[in-house]
Amino acid sequence: MFDHDPYAALQTLKPMAGFTLVSADFDDGAELPPPLCAAGPGAGDRSPQLSWSGFPPGTQSFALTCFDPDAPTGSGWWHWAVANLPATVTSLEPDAGEPGALKLPAGALVLPNEDGERRYAGSAPPPGTGVHRYMFVVHALDVPRLSIDPEATPANLAIQCFFHGVGRAVLTGTAVNPADA
């Protein structure tokens, strides 16, 4: 069904240890429930609960991204990007991606998503574009904090995660526009 996995491609450039990322809200490969979506019946635009474990020893911090590689842009769509999560943080509660970052640990930096907002933007595939993947990724990093401009793009964060990454955990949910269901 899907012929493009941006994180698999990165594995061929720089092998990284995998670790476990799970959510109480959805299983890997399953459809995202309505509260995590931005459109459709029951939509809540809420970020999922996430927990991770088994990351490499020596991990000094984490970054979190949510990316839709199936958006009809040629470059995907970044829904959420958070830098500088302390290594002691191994889970986020539901709706940690709310505006204002009040449910994130002190020092976490939320970058603007594709909508220019510093928050999680729920799934919202355009009509006629089929099933989209929403790749929630926790990046284990070899530095305690990334030096990143607060106005940087999520793609800038992704490149820093590539160079400072020691591990990566991926959890993928799917969604389709309600008109196409």
Give residue 1's pLDDT band: very low, low, confident or very high (50, 70, 90).
low
Please report whether residue 153 resides in a domain: yes
Q: With 80 as the cut, is the pLDDT of residue 14 above it? A: no
What is the model's pLDDT at position 133? Answer: 96
Please report whether residue 110 resides in a domain: yes
What is the model's pLDDT at position 11? Answer: 53
Give residue 159's pLDDT band: very low, low, confident or very high (50, 70, 90).
very high
- In percent, the amount of the chain with pLDDT more than 70 equals 93
Please report whether residue 86 resides in a domain: yes
Please report whether residue 133 resides in a domain: yes
pLDDT tens sequence across 82-128: 999 999 999 999 999 999 999 999 999 999 999 999 999 999 999 99
Domain span holding position 105: 6-180
Average pLDDT value over all residues in the chain: 93
What is the model's pLDDT at position 170? Answer: 96
Please report whether residue 62 resides in a domain: yes
Among 15, 32, 10, CA closest to 171? 32
What is the model's pLDDT at position 84? Answer: 98
- What's the CATH code of the domain at 103? 3.90.280.10
Residues 6+ apart with CB under 8 A from 81: 63, 64, 65, 66, 110, 111, 113, 154, 157, 158
Among 51, 64, 5, CA closest to 25? 51
175 against 180, higher pLDDT: 175
Q: 52 - beta bridge partners?
A: 21
Please report whether residue 1 resides in a domain: no
pTM, two decimal places:
0.93
Please report whether residue 123 resides in a domain: yes
Number of structural domains, the chain? Answer: 1
